[in-house]
Chains A and B, each alone.
Chain A
Amino acid sequence: MSLVNFTTREITCKIVYYGPGRSGKTTNLHYVYGRVPEARRGRLVSLATQTDRTLFFDFLPIDLGQISGFATRFQLYTVPGQVYYNATRRLVLQGADGVVFVADSQARQLDENVESLQNLQSNLLEHGVDVRAVPLAMQYNKQDLPRELILSPADLDDALNFRGVPSFAADALHGTGVFETLKGISELVLKRLAAGSTA
């Protein structure tokens, strides 16, 4: 999918929320959904299991209206975090303009975070994409949990953010850092548009 379509004057920006299971990807989307005026948002498609785990993916289209003469849409996707849904993850990742890696800040989840990050890299490579070439932002979710249970954003940066991409501390359940993350990834995507577009 192309980010900019000059013929139809559309900009469609696909952002995928990636991360280990239960790190809060869907929560991010739910929060965004709740804050976007009704007229601007599409239906939040969520294919979940009975235990509310994402089975396939979540999809939230947001219509930002006409910007600089372009009908601008954001499409927010989440991937299922569980290890055994890798084929789905790879499918959802296809054509992503930007990726938000939602890490679970709990110390005991560090290995899952690392594993998921490696999985992201390998799935991108499957699509012939170098992880360094994709706009990527890190979100350290669940920072509202007791300090003794979580790692600080600085610790998580040390452990996960070796590429030095923008990172955001968040509490997706209450909305802290959700829009900041979305804004951060959008900036990266738009920067790439400015640098490499054929506009």
Chain B
Amino acid sequence: MTTALNPKYAFDTFVVGAANRLAVTAGRTVAETPGSAYNPLFVYSGSGLGKTHLLMAIGQAAKKLAPGLNIEYLTLDEYVEAFHAAIAAGQGDAFRRRFQGVDVLLVDDVQFLAKRKEMQSELLRLTEALQVAAHQIVLTSDRPPGEIADLDERLISRFSGGLVVDIGPPDYETRVAILRRKAEERAARFAPGVLETVAGAAFDNVRELMGALNRLVAYQAVNETQINAATAKQLLGLKAEAAVPAGAAAARGAAPAGDEFGQFLADVTVGLGKAVEAWRARVAEAILRWEGEGYRTRRLEALLEQQAPAAVDDAIDAYEKDVERLKVLETEVAQLDPQASGQSQFRDPERLADAEAAAAEVRTGAAPPPGPSAAFALATYAVGPSNDVAVSAARDVIKRPGKKYNPLVLVGKSGLGKTHLLNAIGLELARARGAVVACLSTQAFIDELIAAIDGDRVDWWRARYRRATALLLDDVHLLAGKDRTQEELFNLFNLLLDKERQLVFTAPAPPGALEGLEERIVTRLGGGLVAEISEPDRELKRHFLEQALAQPGTPPDAALLDYLADRPVDSVRSLIPVLQRVVSSAAAQDVPLTAGLARDVLEGQPREARRSGGLRTSGIVVSSMGGVKSREKMVWDWPDVADRLIEEYR
């Protein structure tokens, strides 16, 4: 499959001039230290200027220095042919392994990669593999990588990442040197001035020059006479004035000195090339790194297309800063809305502005979860023996959220103040810096999830609650039969518990007695503290009434408090309508609130003013006495008795 290296094509037989000195020096360096200096080395030149010679010379020299090296030379066409044959035989992998094991790969005429996408991918893969393994690859082409039609940009950047050198047409001195050497090889002797005359003609490449020499050699051999310069001109059809440059003789005379400077120039060129090209390596390295992390690197690739861009390191730094910013944005967005975080703008530093806008949008959309109601302050929560365990647990939770009782489940019948205590805990927890307290009814929780499913925003919904530093759910028994919500709560529960974030629930009965809840939810609810709130005792009721009837400067009538506290009610909530009736009556009659009035209202005949009512607001009732009560479950507009009778009668 591969071509053997032609022993004639060695560095010793390569005539070095100004036009090819850099390429030869680079080639020698590569042969001496394969895989470390310029990898890949890309040599391009017009036809007949010595690319193949140089490629083979590199192979020969490398082999000579390290006979154990596995060196392969082949043209691109041979490579393509071999690849197709391997694929046809089902040996694609073996083919790849074989080339990946080559120490120095010399590929000639890669310009034929033009429009061969499949082979380009294959060569890209091979180049990457060889570079990673520090194996040398040398390529030649008749044009620079960027000019090969439809060449994959990644290949262009790969090829440019090593060293790209060209071989120009030989100058006059080099042409003379080539002609002399070739004449010697052919054992041909020419009269003085003949070879100089040939060299003076503007041959574009060495092959044409060889053709001219061959004609002279043949002519001289046939005629057995030495030809002179004039005959040579005639034979080759050169114009009479095509002449040796004026300085040629002088150049010959000063050859060693000229070489001294030329050699210095070549060395500086290589050194400077290395130094200046070092930026390409840095850019290529940055491209590899960020591409590997999934970021678009168009901006960096654009740098490689420039010959000598200004401030490359600044450009790389700016790029990296943008990537860091994208990372921050993506992380933030992932927390708020995981679905949004995968968007392409978070992977393209060119679209940083888009990413900022998207993040801002997500931030705006990611409203915090519903918080506790400000109406239920802890200070207004009446405490008595019937709820002191729950209140004490609540205070512990407020003091050390997530540490002591987690979860805290407040259990009790309706109207015993569970919601108040739950919200009061939430309010206290929300005071902490950076706290995000989710406090809502289980029904609202379910409704939100349904809306999220409907809007295909479940991830967003989840993220919203996962941000919470505390989750407080009222009436958790409403989860019964809501499998999906239970599933979500289960996951959220575990996540928050792992992060030591406080969980508080309320339920009408201990978790074990709740029907319709999955076992895994029940066991988790029971895993913290289940604090029961029982029917309000007298002390609690009195405390509640005291707060409800409190007026600045005037303490409530003690007898009234005692009387109302002794009323048989099964919950604090039941006490509210009772109190409301007394307060309304006093307001209607414009008399002070007393135990006597209360007794009249609650035990005697209903007064005229009963219907006048307190001041109604939406949800919260502010009585004329200044107390605050929930209007839940209260009937405000009783029908007139006569109307009711007529209704009944009909």
**Pair B278/A34 contact, Cβ less than 8 Å:** no
**Pair A37/B269 contact, Cβ less than 8 Å:** no
Given contacts A67-B268, A179-B263, whether A194 and B257 have CB atoms under 8 Å apart is no
**Pair B272/A6 contact, Cβ less than 8 Å:** no
Q: Which residues from chain A contact B257 at a C-beta distance below 8 Å?
A: 34-35, 175
**Pair A68/B311 contact, Cβ less than 8 Å:** no
Given contacts A190-B271, A191-B275, whether A199 and B264 have CB atoms under 8 Å apart is no
**Shortest Cβ distance from residue A165 to the other chain B in the assembled complex, whole angstroms:** 17
**Shortest Cβ distance from residue B43 to the other chain A in the assembled complex, whole angstroms:** 16
Contact with A along B53-72 (1 / 0, CB 8 A): 00000000000000000000
Docked Cα-Cα span, A36 to B257, in Å, equals 8
Chain B residue at minimum C-beta to C-beta distance from A186: B268
Q: Which of A9-41 contact B (CB under 8 A)?
A: 9, 11, 34-37, 40
Docked Cα-Cα span, A65 to B265, in Å, equals 9
B543 within 8 A of A: no
Docked Cα-Cα span, A65 to B311, in Å, equals 22
Q: Which residues from chain B contact A68 at a C-beta distance below 8 Å?
A: 269, 272-273, 276-277, 308
**Shortest Cβ distance from residue A136 to the other chain B in the assembled complex, whole angstroms:** 17
Given contacts A67-B269, A70-B308, whether A179 and B261 have CB atoms under 8 Å apart is yes
**Shortest Cβ distance from residue B627 to the other chain A in the assembled complex, whole angstroms:** 76
Chain A residue at minimum C-beta to C-beta distance from B311: A198
**Pair A199/B278 contact, Cβ less than 8 Å:** yes
**Pair A9/B308 contact, Cβ less than 8 Å:** yes
**Pair B261/A35 contact, Cβ less than 8 Å:** yes
A115 within 8 A of B: no
Q: Which residues from chain B contact A69 at a C-beta distance below 8 Å?
A: 276, 307-308
**Shortest Cβ distance from residue A9 to the other chain B in the assembled complex, whole angstroms:** 6
Q: Which residues from chain B contact A193 at a C-beta distance below 8 Å?
A: 272, 275-276
Contact with B along A148-179 (1 / 0, CB 8 A): 00000000000000000000000000010001
**Pair A199/B279 contact, Cβ less than 8 Å:** yes
Q: Which residues from chain B contact A197 at a C-beta distance below 8 Å?
A: 275-276, 278-279
Interface SS of B by simple majority:
helix
Chain B residue at minimum C-beta to C-beta distance from A7: B310
Docked Cα-Cα span, A40 to B265, in Å, equals 11
Contact with A along B259-287 (1 / 0, CB 8 A): 01101110111011111111100000000
Chain A residue at minimum C-beta to C-beta distance from B312: A199
A182 within 8 A of B: yes
Contact of B314 among A64, A67, A70, A198 (CB under 8 A): A198
Contact with B along A25-69 (1 / 0, CB 8 A): 000000000111100100000000000000000000000110111
Chain B residue at minimum C-beta to C-beta distance from A187: B271
B81 within 8 A of A: no
Contact of A198 among B263, B269, B312 (CB under 8 A): B312
**Pair B264/A183 contact, Cβ less than 8 Å:** yes
B258 within 8 A of A: yes
Docked Cα-Cα span, A43 to B276, in Å, equals 28
**Pair A72/B311 contact, Cβ less than 8 Å:** no
**Shortest Cβ distance from residue A179 to the other chain B in the assembled complex, whole angstroms:** 5
Chain B residue at minimum C-beta to C-beta distance from A3: B275
Q: Which of A7, A9, A11, A183 has the most CB of B within 10 A?
A: A183
Q: Interface size on B (CB < 8 Å)? A: 27
Q: Which of A37, A68, A175 has the most CB of B within 10 A?
A: A68
Contact of B311 among A6, A11, A182 (CB under 8 A): A6
Chain A residue at minimum C-beta to C-beta distance from B18: A65
**Pair A72/B272 contact, Cβ less than 8 Å:** yes
**Pair B268/A190 contact, Cβ less than 8 Å:** yes
Q: Which residues from chain A contact B275 at a C-beta distance below 8 Å?
A: 190-191, 193-194, 197, 199
**Pair B263/A190 contact, Cβ less than 8 Å:** no
Q: Which of B272-317 contact A (CB under 8 A)?
A: 272-279, 307-314
**Pair B260/A175 contact, Cβ less than 8 Å:** yes
Q: Which residues from chain B contact A199 at a C-beta distance below 8 Å?
A: 275-276, 278-279, 308, 312-313
**Pair B313/A198 contact, Cβ less than 8 Å:** yes
Chain B residue at minimum C-beta to C-beta distance from A182: B264
Docked Cα-Cα span, A190 to B275, in Å, equals 6
**Shortest Cβ distance from residue A79 to the other chain B in the assembled complex, whole angstroms:** 22
Q: Which of B216-232 contact A (CB under 8 A)?
A: none
Q: Which residues from chain A contact B260 at a C-beta distance below 8 Å?
A: 35, 175, 179
Docked Cα-Cα span, A119 to B258, in Å, equals 36
Contact with A along B315-341 (1 / 0, CB 8 A): 000000000000000000000000000
**Pair B264/A179 contact, Cβ less than 8 Å:** yes
**Pair B273/A67 contact, Cβ less than 8 Å:** yes
**Pair A183/B267 contact, Cβ less than 8 Å:** yes
Docked Cα-Cα span, A191 to B274, in Å, equals 9
Q: Which residues from chain A contact B271 at a C-beta distance below 8 Å?
A: 186-187, 190-191
Q: Which residues from chain B contact A182 at a C-beta distance below 8 Å?
A: 264
**Shortest Cβ distance from residue A166 to the other chain B in the assembled complex, whole angstroms:** 14
Q: Which residues from chain B contact A194 at a C-beta distance below 8 Å?
A: 274-275, 278
Chain A residue at minimum C-beta to C-beta distance from B275: A194
**Pair A37/B267 contact, Cβ less than 8 Å:** no
Q: Which of B230-248 contact A (CB under 8 A)?
A: none
Docked Cα-Cα span, A34 to B261, in Å, equals 10
Docked Cα-Cα span, A64 to B308, in Å, equals 18
**Pair A11/B310 contact, Cβ less than 8 Å:** no
Q: Which residues from chain A contact B264 at a C-beta distance below 8 Å?
A: 179, 182-183, 186
Chain B residue at minimum C-beta to C-beta distance from A4: B276
**Shortest Cβ distance from residue A32 to the other chain B in the assembled complex, whole angstroms:** 8
Q: Which of A52-110 contact B (CB under 8 A)?
A: 64-65, 67-70, 72, 74
Q: Which residues from chain B contact A35 at a C-beta distance below 8 Å?
A: 257-258, 260-261
Given contacts A179-B260, A199-B279, whether A11 and B272 have CB atoms under 8 Å apart is yes
**Pair A72/B268 contact, Cβ less than 8 Å:** yes
**Shortest Cβ distance from residue A191 to the other chain B in the assembled complex, whole angstroms:** 7
Q: Which residues from chain B contact A6 at a C-beta distance below 8 Å?
A: 308-311
**Pair A64/B311 contact, Cβ less than 8 Å:** no
Docked Cα-Cα span, A3 to B592, in Å, equals 97
Docked Cα-Cα span, A140 to B313, in Å, equals 39
Q: Which residues from chain B contact A7 at a C-beta distance below 8 Å?
A: 310
Q: Which residues from chain B contact A183 at a C-beta distance below 8 Å?
A: 264, 267-268
Q: Which residues from chain A contact B314 at a C-beta distance below 8 Å?
A: 198
Chain B residue at minimum C-beta to C-beta distance from A66: B269
Given contacts A194-B278, A199-B308, whether A64 and B267 have CB atoms under 8 Å apart is no
Docked Cα-Cα span, A187 to B276, in Å, equals 13
**Pair A37/B261 contact, Cβ less than 8 Å:** yes
Docked Cα-Cα span, A37 to B257, in Å, equals 10
Q: Which residues from chain A contact B265 at a C-beta distance below 8 Å?
A: 64-65
Q: Which residues from chain B contact A187 at a C-beta distance below 8 Å?
A: 267, 271
13 inter-chain pairs at a CB distance below 8 angstroms, sorted by A residue, are A6-B310, A35-B257, A40-B261, A64-B265, A68-B269, A68-B276, A72-B272, A74-B268, A179-B261, A179-B264, A190-B274, A193-B272, A198-B312
In the complex, given contacts A11-B272, A68-B269, A68-B277, what are 13 additional A-B residue pairs having Cβ atoms less than 8 angstroms apart? A37-B258, A67-B269, A67-B273, A68-B272, A70-B272, A72-B272, A183-B267, A186-B264, A187-B267, A190-B271, A190-B272, A194-B274, A194-B275
The 6 closest A-B pairs by CB, nearest first: A194-B275, A6-B310, A190-B271, A68-B276, A193-B275, A199-B279
